[in-house]
Amino acid sequence: MGIAVGCAIERADAAIAGLGHSPSTLWQYRWAWSRFAEFCACRGVGEVTGEIVDEFVHLARCDFEQGRIREWKRKLLRKAALVLGEVAATGTYHWRVARRAEANDGLVPAFRLVQERFEAHLDDRRLADATRQLYATVSRTVFAWLPTRGATDLGRLCGADVSAAAVFLAGRYQPASMRTVATALRVLCRFLEEAGARAGLAAAVPPLFARRGRPVSVLPASEVDKLVGSPDAATPKGRRDRAMLLLAARTGLRPVDIAGLRLRDIDWRSGYLTIVQHKTGALLRLPLLADVGDAIAGYLLHGRPAGTADDHVFVRTQAPFTGFASGSDLRYVTGKALARARIATPDGAGRGFRVLRTSLATRMLEAGTPLPVIAGAVGHRGTGSAKHYLAGDGERMRALCLDFAGIEPAARP
């Protein structure tokens, strides 16, 4: 059972109006809800249910695919309908940057059902959020690719299909990530086997992958300074971006930890940042350097939207003023900064915040800082995870090269 269409629209309108959207955005939602109300009236439906929401979303997609509406209008109609669906199911609406259901819309119906069951299975296992999201993304990618191979029946899926999927994934992910991706694929195959698919699928996943295919990307100190100074400090967005870039450049924090930084994590009196790292779950305490503190304070006082209820330090510049959903949402900040500063990273790699992290660690190494100290400073559990920074120290790497003395090739007969 759902709730009356008119009542759902009234509740949704009240929830959206409280998020601080512009009048034009509110008008767009109300127009889309009027279309939904007309859709329900034509079908004699008086209540908002999951089925009617799915039907409306499907119609909007068909209209887009047939050229009757633009992409932005399809997204608006879909989002407005999903808001009504959430109001009907929960009585209210909570704004999110992204909705997981949209990611599965492109799957064929049979695969979409299995994907949703697999995601529920991952939820039951109580995995870390990052692990669960990666496993779900890998499985979704595989299910979207399988029809291109002609595999549309999971009951007939075989080891050759799984091996081909592993090769396909290797073309989409960096070599350093493939060990984890292979684990995700193996978990999916075991789930499918338990659900009645052919035995032996998990055994078809290659057991080993290379850890790293290329050296880390490192920027010289002059280019890091140029990058940090590229945002326009006269605007709220520029103050925010500069503070985030400077924080990454001086501390080496991971982007997910910068996105998750809370106001309570900053001890202004003692001059320390204290966070629980998202990746390792370990506590990390870092000194709040003067320039970093000044940049964050300048943003909080003159750039962060006033009256923001969200306790994240860095929030969106458009309503609703909430924190970033994940560290990947910060990638555009460094991408635009690199473009403004006209800086090209080696081989086009490292365009996210991690280029600042690796640059800091490499400069510490070049200055003679012991590897255990570097590992502790950037939040690694041990020196093993920090060893790849050695590849960025070109001078010392060249000093370790061996010549060919004593190994001359044998003379030809």
* pLDDT, position 221: 84
Q: Side-chain half-sphere of 80: how many Cα atoms within 13 Å?
A: 25
Residues 6+ positions from 118 with CB-CB distance below 8 Å = 136, 139, 188, 191
Neighbours of 46 (CB within 10 A): 13
**Record: fold of 221-398:** hpI Integrase; Chain A (1.10.443)
The structure's pTM equals: 0.64
- Residue boundaries of the structural domains of the chain: 3-95, 103-204, 221-398
Query: What is the length of the chain?
Result: 413
DSSP state of 252: -
- Residue given tokens 């109609």 in the structure block: 77
* pLDDT, position 188: 93
* pLDDT, position 384: 59
92-98, Cβ contacts within 8 angstroms, sequence gap of 24 or more: 92/11, 92/15, 93/11, 93/12, 93/15, 93/16, 95/19, 95/320, 95/322, 96/325, 97/322, 97/324, 97/325, 97/329, 98/325
- Residue given tokens 């966070």 in the structure block: 275
- Residue given tokens 């399988």 in the structure block: 146
Which residue spans within 127-169 are E strands per DSSP?
none
- Residue given tokens 């008008």 in the structure block: 27
Cis omega (within 30 of 0) for bond into 320: yes
**Ranges under pLDDT 70 in the chain:** 1-2, 96-102, 208-216, 327, 345-351, 370-371, 373-374, 377, 379-413
Q: Are 269 and 361 in contact (CB under 8 A)?
A: no
* pLDDT, position 270: 92
- In whole angstroms, what is the distance from residue 86 CA to residue 90 CA? 6
Helix axis angle, 5-17 to 71-90, nearest 10°: 100
Q: Side-chain half-sphere of 12: how many Cα atoms within 13 Å?
A: 28
Nearest to 180 by CA among 82, 279, 251, 313: 279
Q: Are 362 and 349 in contact (CB under 8 A)?
A: no
* pLDDT, position 100: 43
Cα 247 off chain centre by? 19
* pLDDT, position 321: 86
- In whole angstroms, what is the distance from residue 385 CA to residue 381 CA? 7
- In whole angstroms, what is the distance from residue 138 CA to residue 127 CA? 15
Nearest to 47 by CA among 96, 87, 1: 1
* pLDDT, position 293: 93
Q: Is 206 left (phi over 0), alpha (psi -120 to 50) or beta?
A: beta
Q: Are 205 and 166 in contact (CB under 8 A)?
A: yes
Q: What is the DSSP string of 14-25?
A: HHHHTTT--HHH
